[in-house]
Structure 1
Amino acid sequence: MPQHDHDHDHAGHSHDDHDHAGHSHAPKVTSSNARRIRLVFIITAAYALVQAVGGWMAGSLALIADSGHMISDSAALFLALIAYRIAAREPDARRTYGFERVRVLAALANGSVLLLLTAWIVWEAIARFRQPVEVMAGPMLVVAVIGLLVNIVGALVLNAGNKGDSNLRGALLHVIGDLLGSVGAIAAAIGIMFTGWTILDPILSVIVALLVVRSAWRLVSDSIQVLLQATPTGIDARRAEEELQTLPGVAEAGHLHAWTLTDDASVATVHVTPEAGVDPLTLPEQVGEHLRQRYGLTHVTVQVDPPGSLQQH
C-alpha cells in the first residue's frame, strides 16, 4: 500500500462503532479461562515432581522428557495466569488499547519454551542411541499411566474453555504435548517389558517431540504475526480497498491498514473520499459496516478526505 502523510485536516475523521460512549478497545479477559488454567497448573505442577522422580529412578528418558514438558508447562501456566491478571487491568492514558497483548507475549513464550524443550529431548535421545541406558519398565509404566490420566483431565478442562484465546490455546498445546509424552512412555514401557529393547525409550521420545514441534511452531508464528501487526488472515488490503470503491457514494478508498489487536479483536483504519453531491458524514457508517460484515473487524476508523486527495499520494 502506498505511504501517505497523516499531517492533514482531520475534520472528516470519524470512528465507526456501535457504542462510542465509554468505548474501550480492550476486550474483557475471560475469567473462566483463568480458573481453568489455575486448576490445571496445580495438578500439573504436583505431578511434574512425581514424574521427575519416577523417571530418574526408572532411568527412562521418555518419562524425564514428559516430566520436562510438565515442568515447563507449570511455568507456562503460571506465566499465563500472570498474563491474565495483567490483561484484566483497565486501559490508561498511555496504553489506550489496554494490556490484552500480554497474553500474546505469554503465548509466544510458551511456544518458544516448548520448541527449546523438544530440541533438548532430541539431543538426549541421540546420546542414548550411542550409549543405551538400562530402563526399569515396571515403574516406568505405572508413572506413565498416572501421567496420562492427569494430562487427560487437564486437557478436558482447558478444551472446554474459549480456544479463541491464544493464551489458553498455548496452555492446551502444552498439556496435549504432555499427553502424547505419556502415551509414548506407556508404549515404550510395554515394549521394553516384552522385548527388552531399551532403545524404544529414546525412539518414542523423539517421536513425541516431533509431534509437538508443529503445533508449537504455529503458536510462535501466530504470536509473532500479531506483534508485528500483520494483516489478519483472510484480509487482502488492496482487494478490500477496491471493494470499498464500489460502494455507493465512495469515489476513492485507500491507505487501508488492518491488524489483530488481541485474539478476538481486529482493528482497521481507512481513508475514503465522497462522490460529488454525497454527504461525507454518511460514509463512515457505511464503510465501517461493510468492513465489519465482510471481514469480521471489531473496530473501524474511517477518515473522509476531500475529493481527489487520495490520488495525490
Structure 2
Amino acid sequence: MADAKPVTVCHAPIPLAASHDSNARRTMWVVLLTAVTMVGEIVAGYLTGSMALLADGFHMATHAGALGVAAAAYAYAKRHAASGRYSFGTGKVGDLAGFTSALLLGLVAIGIGVESVVRLAHPTRVDFGDATLVAVLGLLVNIVSAVLLSGGHGHSHGAANAAHDAGEHDHHDHHHAHGHDNNMRSAYVHVLADALTSIFAIIALLAGRYLGWVWLDPAMGVVGALVIARWSWGLLHDTAGILLDRTDARLAAQLRAAIEAPGDVSILDLHVWPLGAAAHAAIVTVSSAGTVPVATIRERAAIVGGIRHLTIECA
C-alpha cells in the first residue's frame, strides 16, 4: 500500500440541512398561531364559564410547548453550527428535539387513552354545543398549522402518509439519505395528532347530540390514542436510531460497491452513520494487494453523495 497511515478527509463545518432556516420560520409561525389560539380560548373560557374552552386552551398550551421545543432546537442548531464544541456539528439537535416530542406525544396518547376508558366505564355529562365549537376551532387552527408545516416536511405528506412514515421503518435509510428533518416531522405529527383528535371529537359530538350516542365520544378517544401512539412509536424509533448512530445500510452498500468495484481493494471494516438531516460520516478500513493510493480510494468514495466526514484507514 502506498500510504500506510490513516487519512482523514473532513469537510468542515458540517452543514445544516438546506431547508433549516425555512423550517425554523415555519415552526415559529405555528408556535405563534398556537399561542394566540391558546390565550384566546382561555380568556373566552373564563368570560363564558365554558369548561370545554378552558380545557382546550390548556391543551393548546401543552401543544405550544412541544412546538416550542422544535423552534428552540432550530435556533440552537443554527447558533452553534460552527462551534468547535461539537465534533460533528449540531445536525442531531433536531433529532434530539424530535425524540423529546415523541415522548411527549406518547404521554399524551396514554393520557387520552386512560381518560377515554374511564369515561366509557363511567359516562359523564357533555356540553355538546360548546364542545363542538371548540373542536371545530381547534381543527381550523391545525389545518392552517399543517399547511404552514407541510412545505418543510420533505414530501408534503398528509395524515395518512405521516402514519405510513411512522410505521414503515424499513424506509428509514431512504428518508435520511434525502435530508429528512425529524424536528420538522415531530412538529408536523403533533399538528396531525391534534387535528385527528378534533375530527374524531366532532364526529362523536355530533353523533351524541343528534343520535344520543354518548358512548361514541370516549370510544373515539381510544381510537385516537392508539393512532397517536403509533405515530409516537415510529418517531421514537427513527430519532433514536439517529442519536445512537445506527448504520445507514443503503449508503454503506453504495460506498462498498464504489470502493471495491475495480477489484483491487477490499474493505475490512466499514461504518456509515448519520450526523443529522444533511450529512453522514464514514470510517473505512481497506486492504489492497497492490499499491492503490489513498487519494484513489477517496475519489471512488466521493462518487457516493451525502458523506461529509470520511476517514480512510489502510491496513
TM-score scaled by length of structure 2: 0.80
Deviations 1:27-58 (A, max 9, x none): 2562111111111111212324555776x966
Partner of residue 100 from structure 1, selected from 76, 91, 100: 91
Name the SS of the counterpart of 1:258 in structure 2: strand
Secondary structure of the structure 2 residue equivalent to 1:271? strand
In the alignment, residue 289 of structure 1 is paired with which amino acid? Answer: A
- Give 1:250's match in structure 2, choosing from 259, 264, 275: 264
Instruction: Give 1:231-246 correspondences, 5 Å limit.
Output: 231-232=247-248, 234-235=250-251, 243=257, 246=260
- Cα distance in 2 for partners of 1:96, 1:302 equals 14
Q: For 1:1-313, list aligned pairs within 5 A.
A: 11-15=5-9, 20=11, 23-27=12-16, 30-49=20-39, 64=55, 70-88=60-78, 89-163=80-154, 164-232=180-248, 234-235=250-251, 243=257, 246-248=260-262, 250-286=264-300, 288-290=301-303, 292=304, 296-305=305-314, 309=315
> Using the alignment, how far apart are the partners of 1:181 and 1:214 within structure 2?
14
Q: Percent identity?
A: 32
- The alpha carbon displacement at 1:77 in A equals 1.0
Determine if contact 1:69/1:114 at 8 Å carries over to the other structure.
Answer: no
Structure 2 counterpart SS, 1:234: helix
Mapped to 2, the partners of 1:279 and 1:232 lie a distance apart of 26
Query: Is the CA contact 2:116–2:222 (under 8 Å) kept in the aligned structure 1?
Result: yes
Instruction: Decide whether the 8 Å contact of 1:184 with 1:204 is kept in 2.
Output: yes
Q: Using a 3 Å threshold, how does the CA distance of structure 1 residues 198 and 156 change in structure 2: closer, same or farther?
A: same
Q: Aligned-pair distance for 1:200?
A: 1.7
Runs of 4+ in 1 over 4 A off after TM superposition: 49-54, 56-61, 66-69, 239-242
Q: Which runs of 5+ in 1 are unaligned?
A: 1-8
Higher relative contact order (CA 8 A, sep 6+): 2
Aligned-residue Cα RMSD (Å) equals 2.9
Q: Quote how far apart the aligned CAs of 1:303 are.
A: 2.0
Distance 2:90 2:313 in 1: 30
Task: Go from structure 1 to structure 2 and tell me whether the alpha carbon gap of 1:101 and 1:113 turns closer, same or farther (over 3 Å shift).
Answer: same
Matched residues in 2 for 1:123 and 1:80: separation?
Answer: 27
Q: CA deviation at 1:99?
A: 2.1
Q: Deviations over 1:79-119 (max 9, x none)?
A: 11111111012333331222221211110010100101110
Asked if the contact 2:105–2:232 (Cα under 8 Å) also holds between the matched residues in 1, the reply is yes
SS at match of 1:98: coil
Q: By percentage of residues, which structure has more helix? A: 2
Q: TM-score, normalised by structure 1?
A: 0.80
Residue ranges of structure 2 left out of the alignment (5+ in a row): 155-179
Q: Which has the larger radius of gyration?
A: 1
Partners of 2:260 and 2:267 within 8 A in 1: no
Deviates more, 1:26-35 or 1:264-273: 26-35
Render the CA deviation track for 1:151-190: whole Å, top value 9, x for unaligned. 1000010001243211111000000011111111111111
AA of the residue aligned to 1:80:
A
